[in-house]
């Protein structure tokens, strides 16, 4: 260990030891200073100053009390001077200790603060630190330690801290000065106007400070733009996918004047190229699989013949059947002004659509996402497929290469295999966000279906030899050539932000391309919001609708009250066979976040209804707090897992534990009993054996 760190540890040990040995608590009480100040004013100020520096420098308790004491002993102005310099020096000392000694510990202990603080420092620098000092959303001592890890100089940290803490210091010292001016602590004395005003200032100071900061921020953000004297709309929503439709619906229901702009088709990806067509295709594939397994039920049928053109015709028919739910006619009847065109944001309050300028109080960006296509050499020369254009197929590919093992790749790979394609899937692993046992269950099903899996491989290049299309794939130990007729790229989705004018407004993007928003879904410009796939962090239709409520309500009523987005319970379902559903923490996530947990499992091969349905495969897995029935997360693998997870989602959302699930009557025979039996397994594992032993002895005694 470096000498500097050893020396710092010794100093800390000496200070803490001295604090305990000399009864450091006595220096936090006003009586000590009052008697000393009458005899030796300068010595009192010096001792107080030193104690304050040590208390803040080593994050000892009592700094707030010491600040009030300063006013009681020294009066307002002397107390402010002493506290201002002592607190700033102490904070800088803690800052330096953190930078020298505690970097690793602080990063592990306060990692959840670091992301926000680091982003704030990079974006606003000194102003961000000033804001935290003025309104301590994070405790001051945590700020001191965390800032030691940030790219900020000690001198800058010192002067910004002193300036930022000055107003709060004055309020606290003033309260102490008013208390110190009382001749006696009586009921009459406590009713003096000065003291009540001081207490009132203490109570309202955070709100006043926040109002001042918000005004400063707004002035900085909007200073380059001219605000219109009036507005055409209360809200303009860009994008008519799930997030945009729900935003517009809520806004219209709240009787605001709202315009919904969509440059392609109403309903967005979910209706036209995502959820609706993919689940329709999966239904056809499942029918083929059920027919092929009919013999297991004692029914002999000939091999099914798939008319792929008719299958895709039904997919398009289902889209047409759902279209009225998301149509211009429906939303126009609800009071939404629907406009087809491309929107470009020109200022915080102005957009151009089809050459016309629209002024609006607020803007919601809900432009969704599109398939990510990697720069694979030779890929651009091929007529490759994505989740957007695969629905244009009218001929079933004999050999389909799927690149990517996420939910989209897995769902479509299995569907096309069941419909008659020979599918080869290349990717690191199947469903990488799920636990290994979940991925393994899907992998075994894929292998039974005949899908060729090249897991741990990556595509290096696409080549054409005559009429043959070939992919060169490689792992760490092997290289192979795969001949295919069509290739599907399923490597995730990227946010649609091009052409919106975000760069000119300084609206930042995250490293993954999504729009940077705060906990209220506001961008850098407070009246411009983003929600759905374009904002992340989840790219699910139900999450987009969830975010849309927050975005629209905060846009319309945020000046009165704002709502933080609640991401605590977000379920997801992958519609493979078996289905995979998950909510909350996975085992992998819990270990990564160092969260202790217990695992309870129940196998569906033991469930009566699953046995009767010939679908007795899969499991329910629940993570709970050790020794308690509170659910941290759950995974369900099996038939109708997407339906089974709903009870566990509700339990997590409402704080219902496994005991109450066990005590709930479930119809027999149903698949939903799997959740009850999983809860029963938890109960058996936590039954107090000692009590059961005494019960056994009681029953034995009863028999004699």
Mean pLDDT for the stretch of residues 127-144: 67
Q: Which of 202, 210, 243, 248 lies closest to 562, judged by CA?
A: 210
Give the whole-number percent of the chain exceeding pLDDT 70.
Answer: 83
Helix (H) or strand (E) holding 236: strand 233-238
- Tell me: pLDDT of 646 over 90: yes
pLDDT band for position 84 (cuts 50, 70, 90): confident
Residue 442 exposure: Cα atoms within 13 Å on the Cβ side? 31
Architecture of domain 578-689: 2-Layer Sandwich (3.30)
- Tell me: pLDDT of 112 over 80: no
User: CATH assignment of 233-371+495-557, given 3.20.20.70, 3.50.50.60, 3.40.50.1700, 3.40.710.10?
Assistant: 3.50.50.60
pLDDT band for position 231 (cuts 50, 70, 90): very high
Question: pLDDT value at position 95?
Answer: 83
Quote the CA–CA distance of 628 and 187 in Å, as a whole number: 48
More confident residue, 156 or 544: 544
Q: Regarding beta strands 350-353 and 343-347, do their DSSP bridges make them parallel or antiparallel, or are they unpaired?
A: antiparallel
The predicted-structure confidence for 279-313, as pLDDT tens digits, reads as follows 999 999 999 999 999 999 999 999 899 999 999 99
More confident residue, 207 or 670: 670
Q: What is the 3-state secondary structure (H, E, C) of 278-297?
A: HHHHHHHHHHHHHHHCHHHH
Q: CB burial class (10 A; 0-12, 13-18, 19+) of residue 261?
A: buried
Mean pLDDT for the stretch of residues 674-678: 97
Mean pLDDT for the stretch of residues 11-28: 57
DSSP state of 391: G
Provide CATH 3.50.50.60 ranges for the chain: 233-371+495-557, 379-491
Q: What is the 3-state secondary structure (H, E, C) of 420-447?
A: CCEEEEEECCCCCCCCHHHHHHHHHHHH
More confident residue, 469 or 74: 469
Question: pLDDT value at position 374?
Answer: 94
Quote the CA–CA distance of 170 and 624 in Å, as a whole number: 48
Provide CATH 3.30.390.30 ranges for the chain: 578-689
Mean pLDDT of the chain: 87
- Tell me: pLDDT of 275 over 90: yes
The predicted-structure confidence for 136-186, as pLDDT tens digits, reads as follows 556 676 777 777 767 677 788 887 787 777 777 787 777 777 776 665 444
More confident residue, 89 or 19: 89
Backbone angles phi, psi at 284, to 5 degrees: -65, -40
pLDDT band for position 187 (cuts 50, 70, 90): very low
Mean pLDDT for the stretch of residues 503-516: 93
Domain topology for 379-491: FAD/NAD(P)-binding domain (3.50.50)
Partners of 638 in beta bridges: 579
Quote the CA–CA distance of 178 and 71 in Å, as a whole number: 8
Mean pLDDT for the stretch of residues 422-437: 96
């Amino acid at each position: 260990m470096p000498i500097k760190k050893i020396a710092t540890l010794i100093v800390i040990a000496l200070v803490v030891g001295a604090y305990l040995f000399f009864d450091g608590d006595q220096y936090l009480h006003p009586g000590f200073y009052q008697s000393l100040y009458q005899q030796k004013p300068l010595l009192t100020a010096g001792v107080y100053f030193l104690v304050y520096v040590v208390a803040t420098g080593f994050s000892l308790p009592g700094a707030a009390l010491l600040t009030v004491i300063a006013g009681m002993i020294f009066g307002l102005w002397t107390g402010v001077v002493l506290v201002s310099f002592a607190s700033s020096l102490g904070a800088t000392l803690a800052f330096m200790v953190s930078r020298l000694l505690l970097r690793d510990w602080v990063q592990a202990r306060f990692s959840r603060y670091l992301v926000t603080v680091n982003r704030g420092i990079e974006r606003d620098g000194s102003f961000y630190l000033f804001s935290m000092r003025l309104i301590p959303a994070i405790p001051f001592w945590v700020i001191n330690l965390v800032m030691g890890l940030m790219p900020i100089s000690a001198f800058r940290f010192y002067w910004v801290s002193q300036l930022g803490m000055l107003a709060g210091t004055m309020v606290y010292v003033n309260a102490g000065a008013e208390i110190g001016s009382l001749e006696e602590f009586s009921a009459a004395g406590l009713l003096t106007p000065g003291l009540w005003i001081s207490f009132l200032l203490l109570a309202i100071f955070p709100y006043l400070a926040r109002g001042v900061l918000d005004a400063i921020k707004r002035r900085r953000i909007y200073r380059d733009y001219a605000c219109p004297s009036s507005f055409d709309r209360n809200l303009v929503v860009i994008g008519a996918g799930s997030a945009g439709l729900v935003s517009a619906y809520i806004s219209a229901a709240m009787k605001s004047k709202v315009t919904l702009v969509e440059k392609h088709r109403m309903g967005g990806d979910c209706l036209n190229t995502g959820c609706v067509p993919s689940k329709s295709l999966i239904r056809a594939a499942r029918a083929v699989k059920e027919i092929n397994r009919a013999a297991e039920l004692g029914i002999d049928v000939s091999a099914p013949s798939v008319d792929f053109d008719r299958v895709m015709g039904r997919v398009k028919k289902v889209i047409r059947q759902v279209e009225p739910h998301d149509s211009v006619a429906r939303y126009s009847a609800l009071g939404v002004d629907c406009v087809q065109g491309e929107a470009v944001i020109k200022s915080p309050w102005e957009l151009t659509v089809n050459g016309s300028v629209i002024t609006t109080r607020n803007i919601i960006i809900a432009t969704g996402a599109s398939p990510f296509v990697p720069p694979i050499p030779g890929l651009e020369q091929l007529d490759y497929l994505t989740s957007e254009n695969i629905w244009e197929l009218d001929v079933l590919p004999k050999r389909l290469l799927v690149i990517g093992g996420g939910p989209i790749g897995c769902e479509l790979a299995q569907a096309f295999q069941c419909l008659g394609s020979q599918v080869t899937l290349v990717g690191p692993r199947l469903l990488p966000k799920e636990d290994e046992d979940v991925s393994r269950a899907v992998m075994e099903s894929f292998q039974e279906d005949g899908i060729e899996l090249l897991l741990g491989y990556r595509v290096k290049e696409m080549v054409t030899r005559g009429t043959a299309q070939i992919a060169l794939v490689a792992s760490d130990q092997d290289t192979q050539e795969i001949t295919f007729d069509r290739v599907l790229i399923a490597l995730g989705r990227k946010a649609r932000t091009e052409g919106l004018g975000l760069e000119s407004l300084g609206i930042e993007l995250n490293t993954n391309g999504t729009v940077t928003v705060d906990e209220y879904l506001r961008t850098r410009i407070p009246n411009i919001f983003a929600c759905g796939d374009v904002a992340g962090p989840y790219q699910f239709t139900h999450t987009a609708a969830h975010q849309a409520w927050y975005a629209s309500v905060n846009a319309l009523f945020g000046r009165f009250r704002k709502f933080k987005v609640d991401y605590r319970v977000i379920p997801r379902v992958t519609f493979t066979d078996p289905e995979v559903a998950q909510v909350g923490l996975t085992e992998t996530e819990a270990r990564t976040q160092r969260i202790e947990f217990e695992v309870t499992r129940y196998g569906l091969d033991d469930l009566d209804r699953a046995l009767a349905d010939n679908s007795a495969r899969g499991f329910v897995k629940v993570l709970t707090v050790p020794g308690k029935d509170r659910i941290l997360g759950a995974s369900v693998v099996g038939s109708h897992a997407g339906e089974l997870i709903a009870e566990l989602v509700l339990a997590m959302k409402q704080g219902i534990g496994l005991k109450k699930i066990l005590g709930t009557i479930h119809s027999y025979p149903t698949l939903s009993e799997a959740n009850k039996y999983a809860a029963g397994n938890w109960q058996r594992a936590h039954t107090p054996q000692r009590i059961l032993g005494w019960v056994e002895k009681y029953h034995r005694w009863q028999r004699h």
